[in-house]
């Protein structure tokens, strides 16, 4: 089996393209075949080196390695020209005002046995003689794709259903060249949860955006594999090796698949919580560009769904923050300053400063004031974190340390007194 992923380098790699790449990659690995990367870069204005690199960068991040390529379609212009000459000399094509058109049979139909959709029959009368070479001598898309698939020995073409209308033309070209076409499989479209075609309004629309949002490549691979495919009715989590072993085009649906970023967040959180702390720390440091305390990472792990959640949640353990006005006005009222002062004294006098001792000290203040726990814990949280969001309060105080905790509470008490 030889499959190919053939993106046009017009910008970032979108999620639909990433799924196409993944399915081809899984097929090649399952069947011991080759995964060919071909860049369809005949649009020279948009096919910049920067855009090509964005495609390669996204595939590398997803850990989808290719066996051959990246091959440039534009550099194959001589092969396209030779094929057009072959069509002309055999009478399968003719010149028309400087362009070249393929002769389409007047009757009959072009039939494709699609591995996902079954038989797709297109009446030949529905397709007019179509241009395969422009008057400037350049080959059109359908000719270039057909010739490239032939020359690269592609056995299976797995791509989005938006290409279905191209397929009969490419089959006609290949047959006119005396070649049998590859096997085709057209993947369902991706929709958002609202049932409309996937776009930026549904959240992250590209691989680069997913990476910047703190998703893990292994979670993204798992999730996008399920966009149109399923092994059974219940299994959701697959290792990459399990995906290779189980992926089969016969289980790909014809119906549009729904990309739901909330479900991806949930799945990513499961993957994230399964990482060893040191591995999670390493990934967080790559994303933030900061060296992070191991303890801060450890106490945040259970509350994060993406790597990007760390900084809003626990960044205060790395650097001091200003007090959030809304959080301050909500929490620092009705005697909160008095309870915070008592919490400070209890923490200062605590024998040790581990999680257990910190909890004992703060719960003692709750009992002394006969208060609800949040009426003591939230002022402490706002004092040390600047906001009402943090990992567990006892773990956060212990991780921050006695000296810095007391210094931040002092700043909060000064602010509460009008200083």
SS3 content of the chain, % helix, strand, coil (to 5): 55, 15, 35
* Contact criterion met (CB below 8 Å) for 339 and 375: yes
Give the whole-angstrom CA distance, residue 17 versus residue 7.
Answer: 7
Question: How many angstroms from the chain centroid is the CA of residue 375?
Answer: 41
How many C-beta neighbours within 10 Å does residue 101 have?
Answer: 17
User: Position of tokens 């259903």?
Assistant: 161
Exposed/middle/buried for residue 340 (C-beta within 10 Å: 0-12, 13-18, 19+)? buried
Q: What is the DSSP string of 296-340?
A: HHHHHGGG-SSGGGHHHHHGGGTS--PPPHHHHHHHS-TTHHHHH
372 as an active site residue: the answer is no
Which backbone phi and psi does 132 adopt, to 5 degrees?
-110, -15
Give the whole-angstrom CA distance, residue 78 versus residue 380.
Answer: 72
Catalytic residue among 200, 254, 330, 372: 200
For 32: left if phi > 0, alpha if psi spans -120 to 50, otherwise beta; the answer is left
User: What residues act catalytically?
Assistant: 200
């Amino acid at each position: 089996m030889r499959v190919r992923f053939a993106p046009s380098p017009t910008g970032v790699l979108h999620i639909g393209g990433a799924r196409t790449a993944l399915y081809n990659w899984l097929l090649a690995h399952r069947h011991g075949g080759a995964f060919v990367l071909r860049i369809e870069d005949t649009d020279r204005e948009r096919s910049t080196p920067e855009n090509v690199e964005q495609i390669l960068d996204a595939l590398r991040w997803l850990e989808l390695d290719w066996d051959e390529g990246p091959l440039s379609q534009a550099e194959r212009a001589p092969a396209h020209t030779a094929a057009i000459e072959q069509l002309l000399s055999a009478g399968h094509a003719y010149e028309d005002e400087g362009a070249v058109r393929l002769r389409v049979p007047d009757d009959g139909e072009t039939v494709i046995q699609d591995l996902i959709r079954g038989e797709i029959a297109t009446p030949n009368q529905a397709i007019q003689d179509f241009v395969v070479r422009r008057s400037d001598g350049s080959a059109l898309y359908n000719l270039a794709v057909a010739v490239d698939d032939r020359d690269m020995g592609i056995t299976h073409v797995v791509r989005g259903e938006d290409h279905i209308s191209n397929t009969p033309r490419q089959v006609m070209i290949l047959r006119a060249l005396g070649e049998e076409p590859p096997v085709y499989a057209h993947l369902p479209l991706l929709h958002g949860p609202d049932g409309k075609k996937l776009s930026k309004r549904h959240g992250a629309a590209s691989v680069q955006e997913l990476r910047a949002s703190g998703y893990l490549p292994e979670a993204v691979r798992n999730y996008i594999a399920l966009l149109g495919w399923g092994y059974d009715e219940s299994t959701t989590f697959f290792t990459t090796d399990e995906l290779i072993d189980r992926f089969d085009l016969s289980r790909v649906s014809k119906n549009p698949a729904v990309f739901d970023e909330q479900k991806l967040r949930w799945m990513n959180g499961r993957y994230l919580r399964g990482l060893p702390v040191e591995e999670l720390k390493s990934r967080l440091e790559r994303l933030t560009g900061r060296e992070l305390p191991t303890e801060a990472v450890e106490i945040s792990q259970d509350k994060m769904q993406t790597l990007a959640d760390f900084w809003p949640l626990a960044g205060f353990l790395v650097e001091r923050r200003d007090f959030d006005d809304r959080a301050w006005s909500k929490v620092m009222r009705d005697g909160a300053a008095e309870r915070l002062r008592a919490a400070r004294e209890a923490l200062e006098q605590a024998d040790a400063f581990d999680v257990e001792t910190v909890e004992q000290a703060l719960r003692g203040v709750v009992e002394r004031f006969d208060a609800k726990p949040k009426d003591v814990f939230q002022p402490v949280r706002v004092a040390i974190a600047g906001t009402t969001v943090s990992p567990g309060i006892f773990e956060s105080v212990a991780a921050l340390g006695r000296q810095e905790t007391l210094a931040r509470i002092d700043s909060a008490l000064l602010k509460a007194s009008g200083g």
